[in-house]
Chains A and B, each alone.
Chain A
Amino acid sequence: MNTADSIIIIIPAKNEEDSIAQVLGDLKARFPYPIVVINDASTDNTVAIAEQAGARVLTLSISLGAWGAIQTGLRYALREGFEIAITMDADGQHEADSLPSLLAPIMTRKADVTIGAFTQRGSFARHVAWSLFRKLSGLSLEDLTSGLRAYTTPAIRLLASPAATLLDYQDMGVLMLLQRAQLRIQEVPISMRPRLLGKSRIFSSWWAVSNYMLYTAILCLAHGSHYFRKNKCPIKSPQPF
């Protein structure tokens, strides 16, 4: 562990040609870690720009959404034997400067998963919704949707498995899976820039918000409790591919 070549940065990108160059540039300037961009069926110049910035690009032939793209990256990380996978948004919200504090608890083996948490953001209504979902799911984390995370091998193995394939977002469904597998999740406070361009895809309209709320409530129902499901622990599956 602790060596630079055991860490990989995974960035899911769908039509992010306006921000991806800066995101990759910031990372490359500060860290030696390899970067893999998962192109979620972009229709713009994202691929060319990312490749020029020195990232490895994997292209999904059909759009799988943010989580489907991240999982592709995790499967890649697992196959290539990386021990730590960092996920980051391509829209410039996350700062490269946050990575050292994100990695600190992992380097000292105090956590299996770290989440870059920025809790000041979000409207009052959003905070009410989060506290409701916290109750439903039994998760005690502050920032349930942050896309800036670091995963260690057991977490990568679990999240690359088919058990995590039907999720749609890298948020509560993923966290509940990790919690059920009794992995140690730790939040690290970070600062966040406003998105360089564009808005949150999840919180784009009231219709999208209601859809997302319902989706998350159902996730809590499916994964939140131990009582309704057999304890299938995918960590032990020998062959995740």
Chain B
Amino acid sequence: MSYQITSAILGISLALIILLLIRRDRLHSRHAIWWLFVAVFVMILGIFPRIIDYIALKLGVNYPPTLLFSLGMAMILLKVLSIDLHQSQLERKTRRLAQRLALLEGDKQQHDD
């Protein structure tokens, strides 16, 4: 079995899993766009792994897999950073909601008394 078949199978199954998750509405649309992009990317690279060699050659990278790894790592870092940004935003919203709830519950209690 050639390595191309292996990588194609891996790429296509990962893409299918992502598409399935999007179809089942398990990913919020803003995340789904990113993952759709990843799915397409992984599928193309899985079926035509030679693309990496070609790009690496053009960019003057001697050992093509390093290009793949550093690009992959960079994308993961960016994604994690964006998760933390989003997480901080959520934290701010959660805190304000809890405060507002405390105020409203206080009003209600006073109203009931």
Contact = CB atoms under 8 A, between A and B. Distances in A.
> A and B bound?
yes
Interface of A: 38, 56-62, 64, 68, 71-72, 75-76, 79, 162, 165-166, 241
A72 B92 contact: no
12 contacts: A56-B106, A56-B110, A58-B106, A64-B95, A71-B95, A72-B102, A72-B103, A75-B99, A79-B103, A165-B96, A166-B88, A166-B95
Interface string B64-93: 000000000000000000000000100110
Contact of A59 (B100, B102, B110): B102
Most chain B Cβ neighbours within 10 Å, of A56, A58, A68, A79:
A58
Interface of B: 88, 91-92, 94-96, 98-103, 105-106, 110
A62 B98 contact: yes
Contact of B103 (A75, A165, A166): A75
**Which 6 pairs across A and B sit closest by C-beta, in order of nearness?**
A72-B99, A58-B106, A58-B102, A60-B102, A165-B92, A165-B95
B34 to A, nearest CB: 25
B103 A68 contact: no
Nearest to A36: B106
Interface SS of A by simple majority: mixed
A237 to B, nearest CB: 13
Nearest to B99: A72
A61 B95 contact: no
Contacts of B96: 162, 165
Nearest to A59: B102
A61 B99 contact: no
A162 B92 CA distance: 7
B103 A60 contact: no
Contacts of B100: 75, 241
A59 B102 CA distance: 5
A72 B100 CA distance: 8
A64 B96 CA distance: 10
B99 A68 contact: yes
A75 to B, nearest CB: 6
